[in-house]
Amino acid sequence: MRGSTSGSGLERCWPLANRRAGRAGAVAADWPEAGRGGAEDAGSGPGAGRRVGRMRLRLRSGALAAGCLLAEALGVALFLRGFFPLPVRSLPRGEARAQPPAEPAPPGPGIASNWTKIPPPLFRKVVIVLIDALRDDFVFGSKGKQFMPYTTQVIEKGTSYSFIAEAKPPTVTMPRIKALMTGSIPGFIDVVVNLNSPALMSDNLIWQAKAAGKRIIFYGDDTWVKLFPKHFVEYDGTTSFFVSDFTEVDDNVTRHLDRVLKREDWDLLILHYLGLDHIGHMTGPNSPLVGPKLREMDNVLKKIHISLLSKEGEASLPSLLVVCGDHGMSETGSHGGSSEDEVHTPLLFISSAFEKRSGPLTQLELVQQTDLASTLAVGLGLPISRNNVGNIILPVVGSKTMREQLRFLHMNGFQLSTLLQENTPAYEKDLGYEQFKIAEKSHGNWIKLYLEGNNSEILLNLGKKVLKQYLEALRTLSSSLSKQVAQYDMYSMMVGTVIVMEVLLLLFLSVPKALSSRAEFEVPLSPPLFSLLFYLMCLMLCAVHVIVCTSAESLCYFCSMSWLTAVGVMMLISALMCGILSAVGKILENSRLPLKNPGASSSSWSEVDVLILAGTIGHVLSLGASSFIEEEHQTWYFLINTLCLALCQELCRNHFLLKECDLQLGTTMKQNFDSIGEASECKNIDVQAASNSKLGKAASSAEFVKGSDKWISLASPWIILICCRLLRSLNQTGVQWAHRPDFGHWLTRGITEARFVYVFVLGIVFTGTKDLLKSQVISADSSVKSTGLWEVYSGLVLLSALLFRPHNLPVLVFCLLIQTMMTKYIWRPLKFDAAQITIMHYWFGQAFFYFQGNSNGIATVDVSAGFVGLESYVEIPAIFLTAFATYAGPLLWAIHLLCYLSSEVSRNSAAVGHGCFCYALMRSIPVAIYIVLVTGLRYHLFIWSVFSPKLLYEGMHVFITAAICLFFTAMDQNHSQKVQG
Amino acid sequence: MKEAELRRLLAANLLCAGSIVLTALVPALFLDGFSVLGTHLTWLCICSVCVSVLNVTLCLILKPSPSSKRSSLSNKISRFLKCCIYFFMSCILFHAIIVLYGAPLIESVTETFLFAVLLSTFTTLQCLCLLGPNIQAWIRVFSRNGAMSIWENSLQITTTCSILGGWFGAFPIPLDWDRPWQVWPISCSLGATFGYMAGLIIAPLWIHWNRKQLTYKSR
């Protein structure tokens, strides 16, 4: 069949493509052929929605959108992989263990230092008490004074040093433990794998301690047990899975204490208390439960301290008690972000080796959380772990002699500069490295003086000077190393960006055609010009790839992929480019032809259109500012509110003008119809829709205006607005106003919770069955499909009811209510076209994403949804369930959109295709722009705390949208098949 | 005729805009510590009162809407009362809309309400002055191409501009700059005020520019 038509097909196809389809009987002669082609596509299924003719490729707009989104998902994945490189820092721990550096050699011949071994430990026993979510003011502030009397007394009068340790975002437990124990800053991607923490492979304190034969005992959060398997001689892991458990989880740690403290067979004891974190998550930092918990912790500290002191007489070396928090908590009790409350934790060193504090506590010194690893390594007489970027906290070793102190600092500096050498090619130009070299030299001079037996004041002063030089060098080194954590794989990022931008451009260029009523494309597949261009471009890109990959110094993900994949990606890029070029060419060609109906281009814009356009652009632009990302929910609430008001105005105008026209029949009839036409704004691109359709519309509108429906219709935007206002205060999200009281908190207390669950589940079941029955009764004749769609929709609703937290069920109920009202009283009567409806659905979907309590921070992801109905953590279902629960709002609205559009098929046969295309476009615009923005802002201060989580959310949303669009296309294909059949 | 009316419109509008500028400057001479940002609520009151007084006076002097029918005193009083009720209702409506947009429901009610009053002054009061308490006329003016005189055209423009100004004024609130003018409702009310002033200035210019296209039907 193809062969028979292909001869004339070429000549016939070009004009067909140029003309706006769907408005003429003039091209009717061409249609049967095209129609059969369409039927064939449909038969070949959604994935292969393209038909390869001799010289062209025909695509439905839905298939185009789905294909584009798949390509975009690939681009985003590449970009993400480049943006979040897995931190490859240093050699794995086992290999090539370098000897610890000797003391710098004094200049001049003859004398040499003989101190090459690791310095002996400073402390006999070390106890680390890590209290999860211990904020600095819980210890140093008024709460500490009130509830932790013993600790306060030790801080103020005892032998202790106290600091505020600053944690780097993401302030989540596992990366913080890694930071504390390795001294490095774990990459952002660690958050994503937070739940199934694999064993820590890089060099760390625990491993060093075990290798040195220290016996380690651990009680507390079982994240440690997973991170350091087989490292502890004795352990008891508690799980942070049951968030509402405030007491058991800590009693399980404390119950071992008495026994262990009596024993002598350990060197390092680590306790990780989770109760405070649980209290914070459930009730916030100001809850009455915090005080007793702090008092409990105080008693634990007292017990340990007294026991350590009582043992001290027997042994030569003192013991050390370290108290720290892994992260703080925000005013709502959550953590993960980078606000001061979440970042600042107390860090306490208590040991009899320290000098008694004389005066009252003045300004607390701010140190980095990573500093603990190197300090403890020195304290235990271990080599500093290789990836450490922290500095030794000098006061802790301050009681030692000058020679020892200098030795410690030299070891730390040597380790840091080695790490710098391994990570930066141009390390010699680094300021910190230069400073370290200078300090090392003067250290050598000092040793020379020392070995000569010079023991005077000069030696001390010189030593102090060297100390200062070392500290300066260490600070510079560690800050330049910390900056390097954000090493981006620019090549992969660029490739991803290019794909995403090309997809966006292609979608933009195909807007006029995709939204025409036929919603089909004819892409010329192999004109010689394009195939030549395609091959040339492939060749060129491959050449560039080879050059980049061979010359790149740093590791690059895209280069490490197999050649076949890389060539595939290159071909995709060139194919997209050719598609863009052909689309541009076609547009140019079209513009040369005289426009047959100028009405299409000069169709006037209603307020709703202006708002939709302005809102989309405004939202995309707002992504450049970190505050707007943190408060993105405000943007969406603002937009949907304005949308509702605009719809209300449209309804009012429709209603009142019609009333007027009822009154003044006759002469003004025509004029009024014009204004209605403008008002109700049927902006089909093919404005075949002449006056008769307007008349028909007016007539149908007049029908609906009758009766009480009119008033419900007028009131519906207001009801929707009120629903949205209620939902907004259900979950306060974001950063600035997150401390406002939520309705949600009222609902999560006691028995009301359970009752709400019953009521809402019953309501939802009722709505679901009603919808199902309705679809079966009303559209029994037409299709099983719409029933199926409603079934899918109801199923999703029920699933989200299962997964949502109980207090979020109102979101679901209001979602259903708003969807019903919108459909019945606003969209149907006002007869918006598919594109407008799609965009409104998209906006509401976004708003509901935030109504659910989501935000653009990692902390709000409700991972507990991933455990519903599972006995233990199973990766695939857990990820799927969590993703579904997080994106339930947008998903439900998208499926509702599909249901609605397929019920509108009778009015506009291409509605589903249009909807799919618009949905893809709406998703592509923010993603593409955001990727470019993030690339530009990659050295921004908030890149890890604000922009990166948002990037993950956007990426995830693209994958989900791609799935939705595939589903849309499948439905569209089925439909066209049915129509053809 | 048209030129003269346009000149009158320009004068009236400039007077309004000038009076708003004065409300920001003059009270500082009498009140201690007065500033638009510092004592914002006071300024809101002063500005609303001044603008409404000026509008009513201008309306009485210029009589832009030729009220043909001679009305009795009682009729006038009932019209006046109706106007008051309408104004109050519009304040409530604006307040409700602002709360729906996300303003706190219980805290800072005064601020929200005064902002609503300011918006009503810029929009509803003018409509009342020009069109009277006649909903049909309002609907006519605010539907497309419904204006019947340059006054009504100006009314359309200033009303739209003030509401848009208030709308745009909400944008900087989420930014974390910690500036004094980001406090609720300062940015919004300033936005509305600037929008209103811009509308007052744009309206005569726009009418002047498009005077060829504008043909008003007589009633």
Q: Are strands A344-350 and A160-166 parallel, antiparallel or unpaired?
A: antiparallel
Contact partners, residue A431, CB within 8 Å, separation at least 6: A476, A480
Query: How far is Cα A921 from Cα A901, in angstroms, rounded to an integer?
Result: 17
What band does A20 get if pLDDT is binned at 50, 70 and 90? very low
Longest dimension (CA), chain B: 58
CA-to-CA distance for A745 and A742, rounded, in angstroms?
Answer: 6
A320-325/A234-238 β-pairing: unpaired
Distance CA(B69)–CA(A510), nearest Å, equals 60
* Mean pLDDT value across residues A142-164: 88
Question: Higher confidence at residue A295 or residue A857?
Answer: A295
Count of pairs with CB atoms under 8 A, one residue in A, one in B: 47
For A59-88, the pLDDT digits (tens) are 777 888 888 999 999 999 989 888 876 554
* DSSP states of A584-637: HHHHHHHHHSPPS-HHHHTPPPPHHHHHHHHHHHHHHHHTTSHHHHHTHHHHHH
Q: What are the chain A neighbours of B101 within 8 Å (beta carbons)?
A: 637-638, 641
DSSP 8-state code for residue A827:
I
pLDDT at A583: 83
β-sheet bridge partners, residue A452: none
Q: Which residue of B has its CA nearest to A643?
A: B101
Q: Give the pLDDT score at B98.
A: 92
Among chain A residues, the shortest Cα distance to B143 is held by A653
Q: Give the integer Cα–Cα distance in Å for A478 and A344.
A: 19
Query: pLDDT: is A527 or A88 the higher one?
Result: A527
Q: Which pLDDT score, from 0 to 100, does residue A813 have?
A: 86
A131: pLDDT strictly greater than 70: yes
User: How high is the mean pLDDT of chain A?
Assistant: 76
Strand locations in A274-363 (E): 320-325, 344-350
When computed from its CA atoms, the radius of gyration of chain B, rounded to whole angstroms, is 18
- pLDDT tens per residue, range A869-912: 666 667 787 888 888 889 999 999 998 998 888 887 777 777 88
Question: How high is the pLDDT of residue A690?
Answer: 38
pLDDT, position A284: 82
Q: In whole angstroms, how far apart are CA A222 and each of A98, A218, A253, A412? A: 32, 9, 11, 30
pLDDT confidence of A482, banded at 50, 70, 90?
confident
Closest residue in A to B136 (Cα–Cα): A656
ipTM for the assembly: 0.89
pLDDT at B180: 82
Q: Does B144 touch chain A (CB under 8 A)?
A: yes
- Residues A197-242: pLDDT tens digits? 456 777 888 988 988 889 999 999 888 888 888 889 999 888 766 6
- Checking if the pLDDT of A602 tops 60, the result is no
What is the least distance, in Å, from the CA of B62 to any CA of chain A? Answer: 31
CB contact under 8 A, A653 and B143: yes
Predicted local distance difference test score (pLDDT) of residue A192: 57
B143 touches chain A (CB under 8 A): yes
Give residue A108's pLDDT.
62
Statement: residue A434 has pLDDT above 80? yes
- Return the top range by mean pLDDT from A316-320, A777-781, B42-46: B42-46
Chain A nearest-CA residue for B140: A657
- Are B139 and A631 within 8 A, CB to CB? no
Residue of A nearest to B142 (CA): A653
Interface of A with B in 685-724 (CB under 8 A): 721-722, 724
CB contact under 8 A, B174 and A627: yes
Q: How far is residue A127's CA from residue A177's CA, in Å, rounded to a whole number? A: 15
* Interchain proximity A638–B102, CB inside 8 Å: yes
Q: Buried b vs exposed e over A175-190: b needs ≥16 C-beta within 10 Å?
A: bbbbbbbbbbbbbbbb
pLDDT of A663 strictly over 70:
no
Contact between chains at A675 and B145 (C-beta distance less than 8 A): yes
Taking alpha carbons only, the member of A273, A274, A285, A338 closest to residue A859 is A338
Q: Which of residues 95-124 of B touch A (CB under 8 A)?
A: 97, 99-102, 104-105
> Any chain B CB within 8 A of the CB of A672?
no
Residue range A142-151: mean pLDDT, rounded: 89
DSSP codes of every residue in A357-378: P-S---SPEEEETTHHHHHHHH
Cβ of B174 and A722 within 8 Å?
Answer: no
Q: How far apart are the first and last CA of chain B?
A: 17
Binned at pLDDT 50, 70 and 90, residue A839 comes out as very high
Distance of CA A536 to the CA centre of its chain: 38
Taking CA–CA distances from B99, the nearest residue in chain A reads: A725
Residue A864 pLDDT class (50, 70, 90 cuts): confident
Q: For the ranges A732-741, A797-806, A846-855, B18-27, which has the lowest average pLDDT?
A: A732-741
Which has more pLDDT, A868 or A31?
Answer: A868
Pick the residue of A654, A725, A729, A736 with the most B CBs within 10 A to test the interface with B by mutation.
A725
CA-based nearest residue to A100, from A381, A295, A501: A381
Residue A667, pLDDT score = 39
Name residues whose C-beta falls within 8 Å of residue A39's C-beta, 6 or more positions apart in sequence. Answer: A976, A977, A980, A981
Q: Which residue has the tokens 């087989």?
A: A230
pLDDT for A98 beyond 80: no
**Which pair of structure tokens corresponds to residue A943?**
């890149």
Q: A526 falls in which pLDDT band (50, 70, 90)?
A: low
The Cα A428–Cα A853 span in angstroms is 49
Among candidates B101, B167, B176 on the partner chain, residue whose Cβ is nearest the Cβ of A736? B176
Q: Please, what's the largest Cα pairwise distance for chain A?
A: 118
Closest residue in A to B107 (Cα) is A740
Pair type for strands A56-60 and A50-52: antiparallel
Spell out which residues of chain B touch residue A721, defining contact as CB-CB under 8 Å.
Answer: 100
Q: Which residues of B touch A645 (CB under 8 A)?
A: 97
B101/A630 touch (CB, cutoff 8 Å), yes or no: no
How far apart CA A300 and CA A408 sit, in angstroms, is 32
Whole-prediction pTM = 0.68
Of A536, A560, A628, residue with least CA distance to A856 = A628
A630 touches chain B (CB under 8 A): yes
State whether B170 and A724 contact (CB < 8 Å).
no
Determine how many CB atoms are found less than 10 A away from the CB of residue B73: 7
Candidate from A638, A652, A679 with C-beta closest to B101: A638
Taking residues A725-743, report their average pLDDT.
73
A661 touches B at CB < 8 Å: no
pLDDT exceeds 80 at position A43: no
Looking at residues A354-376, what average pLDDT do you find?
A: 83
| Cβ-based contacts of B99 with chain A (< 8 Å) | 725
Half-sphere exposure of A536 (CA within 13 A, CB side): 8
Residue written as token pair 């009795």: B72
For tokens 């974190």, the residue is A277
Q: Which residues of B touch A679 (CB under 8 A)?
A: 143-144
Contact yes or no for A327/A346 (Cβ under 8 A): no
Residue A160's H or E segment, with its range, is strand A160-166
Residues B91-109, mean pLDDT to the nearest whole number: 90
Q: Residues A870-885, buried b or exposed e (16+ Cβ, 10 A)?
A: eeeeeeeebeebbbbb
- CA pair distance A710, A825, nearest whole angstrom: 9
The secondary structure of residue A943, as a DSSP letter, is I
CA gap A750, A685 in Å, rounded: 56
| Structure tokens given for A202 | 């890089």
Where does the pLDDT of residue A40 fall: very low under 50, low under 70, confident under 90, or very high at 90 and above? Answer: very low
Q: Report residue A49's pLDDT band, with 50, 70 and 90 as the boundaries.
A: very low
Residue-level pLDDT at A630: 86
By the CB < 8 Å criterion, does A659 face chain B? no
- Summarize pLDDT for A418-432 with one digit per residue, the tens: 888 877 766 777 788
Tokens of A717: 């935007």
| Residue A867: Cβ-neighbour burial (10 angstroms; 0-12, 13-18, 19+) | middle
Q: Measure A61 CA to nearest chain B CA, in Å.
A: 35
CA distance A324 to A376: 13
Whether the per-residue pLDDT at A16 is higher than 60: the answer is: no
Answer whether B100 sits within 8 Å of A724, measured CB to CB. yes
CB B174 to CB A631 under 8 A?
Answer: yes
Question: In 10 A of CB A743, how many CB atoms?
Answer: 16
Model confidence band, residue A743 (pLDDT cutoffs 50, 70, 90): low
Tokens (6 digits) for A748: 């999560």
User: Which contiguous run of DSSP H or E holds residue A205?
Assistant: helix A205-211
Residue A82's nearest CA partner among A928, A948, A959 is A948
Confidence of residue A673 (pLDDT cuts 50, 70, 90): very low
Please state the φ and ψ torsions of residue A129, each to the nearest 5 degrees. Answer: -105, 110
- If one compares A714 and A615, the residue with the highest pLDDT of the two is A615
Please report the pLDDT score of residue B217 as a whole number: 53
Decide if B168 touches A, using CB distance below 8 A: no
Q: Please give the Cα distance from A192 to A190 (Å, whole number).
A: 5
User: What's the CA gap between A340 and A135, in Å, rounded?
Assistant: 10
pLDDT band (50, 70, 90) for residue A761: low
Report the percent of chain A where pLDDT is more than 70: 72
Are residues A634 and B167, on separate chains, in Cβ contact within 8 Å? no
Assign B108 to helix, strand or coil: coil
**d(C-alpha A471, C-alpha A455), whole Å:** 23
